[in-house]
Structure 1
Amino acid sequence: MPEMSFVVRWPDGREQSCYSPSLVMHDYLTPGAEYTVEDFVERTSEALTVASDRVLAKFGMRCTSAAQQMEEIHGVSASYRAGAVRILSMSGAELL
């Protein structure tokens, strides 16, 4: 199953490396784009849920890494009332 990483910059300039167990993130985020914090959280939550569902369908269990990443994004986002999140990079790889 392909996995991917993506790097974001929060409104205060903090950069965060994130993980998804599926390339589905490409359907929700665009490299170089900016999203409001609220929109970013919604998009990544939906994408990580889809990714975890794909893991469940293939392996019979949800992806705990996707759930952890979603929690981290929610936790960091709580610090911002406004502003934009920029998608700095996205890269994917096929697991061997």
Structure 2
Amino acid sequence: MPEMHFRVRWPDGEIQRCYSPSTVIEDFFSPGTAYPLADFVDRSRQALGIASERVRAKYGFVCTGASDQLAAIESTAAAYAAVPDATVTVEALLAADGSIR
């Protein structure tokens, strides 16, 4: 399964490298795009859910890495919930070899 990473910048400028076990993340995020906080979390939930199900279809079990990553995103996002007009910018989509997509 072709895993990917996506690098995001949170409202306070903190950078986080996130994991996806599938390239489906490319269908949900575009590099350089700022997403409203709730939209970013929703897109992450959808993409990582699909990615995890792809792992289940191939290997017979869900991807705990995807669920762990979603939990980390949701936890971090909760810290910014009270910030007016908070956005999360997807800075880059990275292939498994580290190259930028």
Decide: shared fold, TM above 0.5. Answer: yes
Gaps of 5+ in 1: none
Identity percentage over the alignment? 47
Moved over 3 A (4+): none
- Look up the match of 2:79: 79
Shift of 1:32: 0.2
- Look up the match of 2:49: 49
TM-superposition CA deviations, 1:22-77 (whole Å, max 9, x none)? 00000000000000110000001100000000000000000000000000000000
TM-score, normalization by structure 1:
0.94
Gaps of 5+ in 2: none
The structure with more strand, counted as a fraction of residues: 1
- Match of 1:2, SS state, is coil
Quick one: higher RCO (CA 8 Å, sep 6+), 1 or 2? 1
TM-score, normalization by structure 2:
0.90
- Match of 1:6, SS state, is strand
Mapped to 2, the partners of 1:67 and 1:52 lie a distance apart of: 8
